[in-house]
């Protein structure tokens, strides 16, 4: 079976896919996309918006969107135990938190960070992120990981978004979220992915 190939740029949303690949522990190939290569005809075939991550699957097909890629990789590697069986409650809750990560956390957080740069501290984006963070906080007061207290693809997605907030000190009102990000960052697979991805872009 041909291993998947991740098209990535350092310090981007491709880092979460790298982390997931390291959690899975199977072989994979990497291609770094540099500067103008993003808009090349070749890369636009992989990602119509010229972004990363994109993933080439074993059959040669390519896909984009980090959340979809993470779910697909978890499905392709069931032995890694990062997603429950089809139709299980566990799987439904993984879907719930993965969608929550991109809709309730990531969008409002990135919007809020942009606004902070403009001096805006009170806005619908801040309010929406605060409500989502508070909801997650009450869950993580009770357990270490989101779904059945077992690390899953939902944690890769949610922790990778919250890292951006933690790095800016924005999680201070929610200590259980700070602890969650620290637990995630302490995972050996996270460290291996960071060794590849935490460097300046070329």
Place of tokens 């949610």: 158
- Binding residue count for ligand GSH, defined by CB under 6 A: 9
Angle, in degrees to the nearest 10, between helices 66-76 and 14-24: 10
Q: Are 10 and 201 in contact (CB under 8 A)?
A: yes
Q: Are 52 and 14 in contact (CB under 8 A)?
A: yes
Query: Would you say 12 or 72 has its CB closer to ligand GSH?
Result: 12
107 touches ligand GSH (CB under 6 A): no
43 touches ligand GSH (CB under 6 A): no
Of 32, 57, 63, 65, the one binding ligand GSH by CB under 6 A: 65
Query: Considering the complex, what minimum distance in angstroms separates the CB of residue 113 from ligand GSH?
Result: 13
13 touches ligand GSH (CB under 6 A): yes
66 touches ligand GSH (CB under 6 A): yes
Q: Sheet with 5-8: list strands edge to edge.
A: 29-32, 5-8, 54-56, 62-64
90 touches ligand GSH (CB under 6 A): no
The angle at the Cα of 37, spanning 31 to 42, to the nearest 5 degrees, equals: 80
Angle, in degrees to the nearest 10, between helices 124-140 and 153-167: 130
Of 10, 26, 32, 38, the one binding ligand GSH by CB under 6 A: 38
53 touches ligand GSH (CB under 6 A): yes
Query: Considering the complex, what minimum distance in angstroms separates the CB of residue 66 from ligand GSH?
Result: 4
Query: Considering the complex, what minimum distance in angstroms separates the CB of residue 11 from ligand GSH?
Result: 8
Region of 48-56, 87-95, 126-134, 171-179 interacting with ligand GSH (CB under 6 A): 48-56
Region of 49-57, 86-94, 130-138, 177-185 interacting with ligand GSH (CB under 6 A): 49-57
Region of 44-52, 86-94, 132-140, 155-163 interacting with ligand GSH (CB under 6 A): 44-52
Of 51, 91, 126, 128, the one binding ligand GSH by CB under 6 A: 51
d(CA 122, CA 140): 26
Binding site for ligand GSH (CB under 6 A): 12-13, 38, 50-53, 65-66
């Amino acid at each position: 079976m041909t291993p998947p190939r991740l098209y990535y740029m350092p310090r981007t949303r491709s880092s979460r896919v790298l982390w997931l690949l390291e959690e899975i522990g199977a072989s994979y190939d990497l291609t770094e996309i540099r500067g103008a290569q993003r808009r090349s005809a070749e890369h636009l075939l992989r990602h119509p918006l010229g972004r990363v991550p994109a993933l080439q699957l074993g059959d040669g097909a390519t896909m984009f969107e980090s959340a979809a890629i993470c779910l697909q990789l978890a499905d392709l590697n069931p032995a890694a135990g990062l997603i429950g069986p089809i139709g299980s409650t566990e799987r439904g809750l993984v879907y719930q938190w993965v969608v929550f990560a991109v809709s309730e956390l990531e969008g409002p957080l990135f919007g809020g960070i942009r606004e902070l740069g403009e001096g805006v501290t009170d806005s619908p984006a801040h309010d929406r992120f605060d409500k989502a963070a508070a909801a997650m906080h009450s869950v993580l007061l009770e357990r270490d990981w989101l779904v059945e207290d077992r690390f899953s693809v939902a944690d890769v997605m949610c922790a990778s978004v919250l890292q951006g907030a933690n790095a800016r000190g924005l999680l201070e009102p929610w200590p259980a979220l700070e602890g969650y990000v620290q637990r995630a960052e302490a995972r050996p697979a996270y460290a291996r992915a960071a060794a590849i991805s935490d460097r300046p872009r070329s």
